[in-house]
Structure 1
Amino acid sequence: MSGVGSVQSAGDGYFLVDGQKMDLGALMMALQIDRTKTLDKQIADQMAEIQERNKQLKALNELMSQMRSLKAQGSDDDDFNQGWATIDGVRKPLWRTNDNWAKEFGIKWTDISGGASRKTRDAQWDANIEAIKGKIDGLNSDSQLSMIRLQALIDKRNQAFEMASNTLQKDQKTRDSIVGNFR
């Protein structure tokens, strides 16, 4: 069943659902199974979102590590880093500057001038590192909220599945009782 469509009363305790005649127990079961499938899809989407965010966090942490290393060397931000070509799981141009990576993640970048004094370059690096930290903190907060949403979806899915199971058990008990009365 790909979703429960319109439901109409057919009389005598039966219902028409997408042209099929069902009793109340079957209708309740179909609705709970449909709800479970919908929640399964939402859970899968939420998990994909969390995985994507984790890829971004990994890339940003590695970028920040690279930036700290370049700062310690007294480098400017035009130093190329070949290792970043596939950091986020997507094939990218082989050579990118650190400011290109920051722009890709939507981070405000302070240009680090190679001719500036060491103190000035360090301050510029610190500004960029703080911007990366801010982005990481934001993604971590989003990640925590996503995990809460995921847990809520899993709880709802478990409740829907439990309700379907209870409906099935009650229906079976009713049938067993009816069969027992015929004996």
Structure 2
Amino acid sequence: MKGMVFTEFIDMVEARYSPELMDEVIEAAAPPNGGAYTAVGQYDHHELVKMVVELSARTGKTVPELVRTFGEYLFGRFHQGYGHLFSGMNDSFHMLSSIESIIHPEVRKLYPDARPPRFDIGGDGINTLEMTYRSDRHFGDLAEGLITACIAHFNENIGIRREDISDAPGSVIRFTLTRGTA
């Protein structure tokens, strides 16, 4: 997993909680590099999972809740850092349906070794949008947070239904977004 995800997670925890709590989390999770992440590095996603579990133990928030919150935070950071990708996007359906055609190709240009999750897009694109998330890293909660933040960014009334459709929890999830049902 790209180091940028790790550095953003650390920044979020330090901003929302404290640098001292983040230090405790890193010490307890004991990543091989001691918590020294670079944005361009490549790291085992299990290190991030361990940090989220440790954060959960210290905050009382569930792991899924923390990962969704991180997804929401990350969307804002993407908007700040990669605003050009939002150019011409007039609503969340437009933005979300362009993940595989515009956003992930841009990610691969910036980080050739990146392995972003795959999204299969369906629905009519007007009233409903189906997004099927596929990843061996099981970060469906992160995807849900990103989707939720995208909807909030465009200030839309869209409901989200989530269905786990795989044998391995979190590896294949169908998100069905419906206008006017939030």
The structure whose residues are more often strand, as a share, is 2
Give the TM-score normalised by structure 2: 0.22
Structure number having the greater helix percentage? 1
RCO higher in structure (CA 8 A, sep ≥6): 1
